[in-house]
Structure 1
């Protein structure tokens, strides 16, 4: 009996050991993956992920990789992003002060909203400039906890003015201020918003429109740039309530018969927004701040405006005085009229305007067929850990954040990039500091007007080829503008040879760029 008992105990110990080994075999890798995913309290984006030279030369700066401890290898090397500024001796042509507050405010409809304001309102004031003017914006944080910044979405500003916390500046804490300076060297429709905890602060109201009018000499030489009536239509959701310029429902605008009207549509939301006209044909005059070449009249088609993107819709008011409705993702929108604003909603057209073929071809100033760098930005999704949190996370080229590419370029490079989406959801991709031209979609080449974008909707299963010239030195974000997706790891960076940043994510300023 004793022998049998001893044998039983031994057998139990063996089974326990086997079970323990099996458990460790399962949990061990998970514990390792969990620990490997933890982000340091402070790190430089220059040291995250892995380098991608796109087939080009490595250059003088090696990419250290592996966390903030490598940051010291870059200290003092090359150009600091803080030196990439507009002419410091030039006086501002447009000077604006913005005071940011966390407060309860009322929309024009009277609905109260708990969020953020700029100069006591949300959206913030429309900033207007003329092409070639130097814009100066002094941002003061009166009461927004966690700090703030302002990013000039679509405007290719100097890197020091890009407004990304932890990359180009520190977040502006309560009681502090920061001044942005840039030359508005492109006429078009743009917008601004916070890039500190952006998925919270933008939704909460820290945003506004930026409109750059053509210069006088452009109006004299370009018939499309001559005087037209100008209407801003910034679309934003406050707690699920759709607004245009902060108003609920239709926005009526006086427009006499025969008047040419340009409606500058700005989609500040996270998803694709269809836009169409009822009551008259329209032209898609510009996309993301760039004029469309040979824009022809459109009927019975809608324009898909990407999250963060802009579309300038131009109509000529009917001579009989009947109103025209510009639909902005639904029945409500901008109603242009004179004697009446009774323009009934028109159902969304079944067809969408294909920007791959719209407009007339025009030569490019560079040859995308002979690029200096070729990059892939392949989006997917898989289970894993992000900063210790388990979940189903976005991937870039098969890797979870922060093990994502740092795309290295040298100034003057022609860059070609393939963006593909196998993640199961659409992603509006936004490259800071540059406009790119769309070359193809799903292998089909572009044949219309050069389609220049800074916010490109890449649908599930789609693949795009884009190209641009690396002509704006800095360290630039390249991320999904569905801002929760960016905070969930769908973020990479474009880094110029010889450029460094002293700023870090986290740290004393508590920088949170996503």
Structure 2
């Protein structure tokens, strides 16, 4: 049994972390939506979830190999909570302007319309998209994950044709209106590097070309120590040839900069961040959730091959060790 206090409103999901590259792939997962205690004045008229997952090569939407139809009266606003449970990046787009109102459970400040651009959602990530049903009674199609759509409009309205995927991607580093952070990241208590690369070696008796963190191979990877209350800044750099959706358990991080360019939009707060080959990010978080937390790539086969480290709070211990008596294999 799991017990937790639902204090952070937003879109989330849960999944197995025991042999996760097999168990998640086969469907040990689900959506969690935490609604705010008080509905905001700009709340959508309709709220729907769009959970993406590939089963046996079939792209599904909410478990079905089919599009989702949402009955909405003309002019109604629909909040579509897109959850990417797969191993690669998912694209969301539409021929009709829409807004990205939340990322990974955190609201975007004053989001403008997205027109002629796609939104990319990392593996493990979420994006809440606000779509308005056409005033003339027709329907609008929101492509989610590339293979499926959410069609919004009056009952019986014909679905519009599939729009071509835009070649331009929405840059969340500059999307929305800036607002002050709740903490000062300019003078952190802890600063760490997290540099991803590859080299040949052996993990659990398996030879291969494995991931490294700060030039070290699993299990001899860094442990990032923190004290409760610390402001932590981490410099992520991808010196490998693959995209890595980096995911820190138990926390959200704010993106400060990418490749030296400072964030200029609404605070970009995430728990899964795609780091492309050659890219670097500066991120920050407050150590406000004591524990021993995995900090890994959410392309789960990458975690199996060593792309996993931990953030460890001072004074926190656990009897559960990897491949210990409890049989824990939390990749």
Could you tell me the TM-score, scaled by structure 2's length? 0.98
What is residue 24 of structure 2 aligned with on the other side? 202
Name stretches of at least 5 consecutive residues in structure 1 with no aligned partner.
Answer: 1-178
Partner of 2:152: 336
Runs of 4+ in structure 1 over 6 Å off: none
Deviations 1:391-439 (A, max 9, x none): 1000000011011000000000000000100111000000000000000
> Which of the pair has more CA radius of gyration?
1
Are 2:284 and 1:462 aligned? no
In the other structure, the counterpart of 1:70 is none
The equivalent of 1:307 in structure 2 is 123
Residue 397 of structure 1 corresponds to: 214
2:41 counterpart residue number: 223
Is the aligned partner of 1:188 residue 2:10? Answer: yes
The answer to which structure has the higher helix fraction is: 1
Does 2:93 match 1:276? yes
2:192 aligned with 1:375: yes
How far does residue 388 in structure 1 lie from its aligned partner after superposition?
Answer: 2.1
Asked whether the 8 Å contact 2:12–2:104 carries over to 1, the reply is yes
Does the 8 A contact of 2:44 with 2:79 survive in 1?
no
CA deviation after TM superposition for structure 1 residue 336, in Å: 1.1
Look up the SS of the partner of 1:486 in the other structure.
Answer: helix
User: What's 1:33 paired with?
Assistant: none
In structure 2, how many angstroms separate the alpha carbons of the residues matched to 1:466 and 1:384? Answer: 30
Cα drift, residue 223 of structure 1: 2.9
For residue 248 of structure 1, give the secondary structure of its aligned residue in structure 2: coil
1:495 positional shift: 0.2
- The alpha-carbon deviation at position 324 of structure 1 amounts to 1.1
Q: Which shifted more, 447-456 or 331-340?
A: 331-340
State whether structure 2 residue 86 is matched by structure 1 residue 264: no
What is the CA-CA distance between 1:341 and the residue it aligns to? Answer: 3.6
Query: Residues of 1 paired with 2:66 and 2:194: CA distance?
Result: 39
1:321 aligns with 2:143: no
What CA deviation, in whole Å up to 9, does each residue of 1:222-265 have, x standing for no partner? 433x3531110000000111000011131112111111100000
Aligned match of 1:490: 307
Instruction: Tell me if the contact between 1:189 and 1:210 (Cα under 8 Å) persists in the aligned partners.
Output: yes
Give unmatched runs, 5+ long, in structure 2. none
Residue 212 (str. 1) matches residue 34 (str. 2)? yes
**1:421 maps to 2:238:** yes
SS of the aligned residue for 1:408 comes to strand
Aligned residues: 330
Q: After TM superposition, list the pairs within 5 Å mapping 1:349-360 onto structure 2.
A: 349-360=166-177
Q: Are 1:245 and 2:62 counterparts?
A: yes
Shift of 1:509: 3.0
SS of aligned partner of 2:3: strand
Whole-angstrom distance in 1 between the partners of 2:163 and 2:83 = 20
Candidates 261, 266, 273, aligned match of 1:444? 261
TM-score (norm 1): 0.63
Matched position secondary structure for 1:506? coil
State the SS of the aligned residue for 2:172: coil
Structure 1 contact 332–345 (Cα < 8 Å) conserved: no
1:387 Cα shift?
1.8
- SS of the equivalent of 1:500 reads coil
Indicate which of 78, 81, 103 corresponds to 1:287. Answer: 103
Higher strand share: 2
CA apart distance, 1:331: 4.6
8 Å CA contact retained: 1:252, 1:341: no
> Which deviates the most, 440-449 or 324-333?
324-333
8 Å CA contact 2:49–2:81 kept in 1: the answer is yes
2:201–2:210: 8 Å Cα contact kept in structure 1? yes
Mapped partners of 1:417, 1:310: distance in 2 = 22
CA RMSD in angstroms comes to 1.0
8 A Cα contact 1:331 1:346, kept in partner = no
CA distance in 2, matches of 1:457, 1:284: 17
